Amino acid sequence: MNKEFHYDIVVVGAGPAGSSAAYEASKNGAKVAILEKEESVAETVRTSGVTWIKNIKEFQIPDDCYNPIKNYSFCSPNNEVTISDSTPQAAVLDVRKTFRWLAQQAENQGADIFVKTNVKDVIKNQNGDIIGVRANNTEGDVSFFGKIIIDSSGFGSVVCKSMGFVTQWKRFGAGAEYEVKAENVDPETWWLMVGQKYSPAGYAWIFPIGKDKVRIGVGIGKPESSIDPTERLKELMESKPGPIGRLGKITPIEFHYGLIPNDGLSRKTVYSNLILVGDSAGQANPLVLEGIRYAIKFGRVAGRVAAKALKSGKTDESALLPYEKNWRKEIESKIKAARKVQDRWVGLSDEEWDKELDIIKELTAEEFLNFIKADFGLSNMLKLATHHPKLAVRQLFGLVKGIRK
């Protein structure tokens, strides 16, 4: 027998976007269910966990959930540069601990979390609008009905695909990573490694998460490269080029693999009774392919907008549109500018990357971080133009194009 549950809001996926949406919706009086297909929240880690201290403080993430970073090192085949700051501005999250904290926040506000619940299909009304989802869990087939559905199912976009609103992302990043114990770890310094031996159409990384632990990974852009990031990562772990070799003895602890959209903000994210958030919405920074801060921030916006719509008695597209207007106003122009830089980076040869690092080393820590965070605000770009009048830098940032388009 098919069991039925009825909620105000059904959230599909207990990642940072889903938990944040559920937290804010519950806080604003909605009855919320979160459906998670895995046996526990964040059972599988799919991201390296890079984010920014400013956002961590904004979201009030506990201190024991992250490792602060204040030195930013770049490595190309024949060049290295480190930009240092007096205080940490970046961080590497303990992804599992952070995501579980976010889910616990939602639960504390009254949201119900159903783990081992795999959404298979959508339930529509006579008008073709979504009114629920079909799933299976340990009890068999089960249906969850909601006045609003939030698709925070990540890269797979389970709900909006089932509705026929979207197809698979055409452009995306594939990342493979080992969390390891290492002999020589500088916990305050990350490494981004570029060039053909590290990653065609992407980069490799060393992200420290403590005094003796780091994450070593490779991200490769698809369809730009056909190389398997897992295979390239294994090669790097064996050959230990550049800063990987300086880690000394490496003992793998856990393997992570994930996909992140890199199609820009190309999707419509609200329909009647339906909101897309996080990776389902394509909310990712194309320069370092990170999106956790967007997932939390706009997850919360989605939850607030959904709860307000419920109170008004309207859950159609017009009632949910303030969510899309909010995130587009905040990040759309910045992501477009960042994609221009990324498109240029993808085509660089090893020799060109060596020269690029000479340009990057002229930046202050603040300028570098605003750049790598894809914070391409007009004021930031004008500051860069003033401080770095060299033509090479103007070309790197595409200042004239980025500001006027």
* pLDDT tens per residue across span 194-237: 999 999 999 999 999 999 999 999 999 999 999 999 999 999 99
CA distance 404 to 397: 13
- Residue pLDDT, tens place only, 262-311: 999 999 999 999 999 999 999 999 988 899 999 999 999 999 999 999 99
Q: Phi/psi zone of residue 333: left (φ > 0), alpha (ψ -120 to 50 degrees), beta?
A: alpha
Q: Judge residue 179's burial from the number of C-beta atoms within 10 Å of its C-beta, 0-12 exposed, 13-18 middle, 19 or more buried.
A: buried
pLDDT score at 399: 40
Strands 118-124, 50-52: parallel, antiparallel or unpaired by DSSP?
unpaired
- List helix spans (H) across 39-113: 53-59, 95-108
Residue type at 286?
Answer: P
Which helix (H) or strand (E) element contains residue 238?
Answer: helix 229-239
Other C-beta atoms lying within 10 Å of the C-beta of residue 251: 11
C-alpha 142/C-alpha 4 separation (Å) is 6
- pTM, to two decimals: 0.94
Helix axes 16-27, 292-312, angle to 10 degrees: 30
Q: How far is CA 352 from CA 225, 232, 254, in A?
A: 18, 22, 34
The whole-number pLDDT of residue 24 equals 98
pLDDT of the residue at 356: 87
Per-residue pLDDT at 374: 85
Region 150-165: what's the mean pLDDT?
Answer: 97
Lowest mean pLDDT among 138-147, 152-161, 243-252, 375-384: 375-384
pLDDT at position 37 over 50 = yes
What are the φ and ψ backbone dihedral angles of 24, each rounded to 5 degrees? Answer: -70, -40
CA–CA separation, 227 and 175 (whole Å) = 11
How large is the average pLDDT for residues 176-182? 98
Distances (CA, A) of 259 to 86, 117, 218: 33, 21, 12
Task: Name the phi and psi angles at 300, rounded to 5.
Answer: -65, -40
Where is average pLDDT lowest: 303-307, 332-336, 341-345, 382-386?
382-386
- The 10s digit of each residue's pLDDT in 65-103 is 999 999 999 999 999 999 999 999 999 999 999 999 999
pLDDT in tens, 83-93: 999 999 999 99
* Residue 384 confidence (pLDDT): 64
pLDDT at position 50 is 96
